[in-house]
Structure 1
Amino acid sequence: MKFLMVLISAISINSLSIDMSTVRNAYKEAAQDHTKIETFNTLLLKITKKDKATLVAYKGAAIALLAKQEKKVKDKKKLFIEGVSYVEYAIEKSSNNIEVRFVRLGIQENTPKLLKYKDHIEEDKQFILKHFKDITSSNLKYHIKDYILQSKAFSDEEKTVISGQ
């Protein structure tokens, strides 16, 4: 029984010790600069599907970004599928979480058509637009707004509405 309590505490402490603004910054940097992907992945190495859905989604994004660095197509595809499985698990676990939707949108928008992972772009985009005003974290709001303003998935009109919030 004591072992179980220690294990649960260790898992909880691990997910609590990761600062979300650090994760968001690392995600943005890794998405823009392939030399930062390994650092982003290392930050989330200990995250499992038992952690918070947001962290699980970011771990999936880290794995999907790692796939870009693989040389063999087979290895790229395997890693990408693994990463997407984390993201989709996070969506199942917390479908009303705007940050999880934001992570999935970012991956889908930047994934080649060949991988056929673009089915939820419009759904996630509409969810984000509808709930953007409800975001309480200024750091999260900044990251989502920054993404929207450079995204091709959002119209100029939608960008104007978001930039005013």
Structure 2
Amino acid sequence: MIRTALPADLDAIAALHAEARATYYRGHIPDEAFDSPAEHAQTRENWAAAIGRGAVLCAEKGGTVVGVAAFREVEAFMTLTQLHVAPDHWREGIGTALHAACVESWRGAGVSDVRLTVFQHNARAQSFYARRGWIPDPDEPRAGDHLVLRLTVPPAAQ
């Protein structure tokens, strides 16, 4: 089930975020950059703010949050800021369902173009986004060690 995240989901979302990020950052950047008390506190603060804005969707399975997506306007561009699925639930269609819910939300809001950044070493995520129509941003293909991707929101199916 995909639903809007609630403040009560904060701990589960922050833990899921930390677990998912460790899978693609570990071995590529120092662990302290994603797995330190300060980083976990900042992550929790950022998720609390995003939940407060109402722009966080979560996937729930058996009463447990197993996926999360967040988006907001950044520099006048709608941006998918986060999309994570608990590693124990990869390949179950949860990311696909979250992505589809985001696209529906953007479409409903009249958003035509969206961007995101993905870690350059996260081939799994890059493949996921490519299968959903994301392409390298022609104006800004890189942001540091992240690739910038863009999606033209497809029209609603008739």
* Common fold by TM > 0.5: no
Name the structure with the higher helix share: 1
Q: TM-score range by the shorter chain?
A: 0.3 to 0.5
| Rg comparison, structure with higher value | 1
Name the structure with the higher strand share: 2
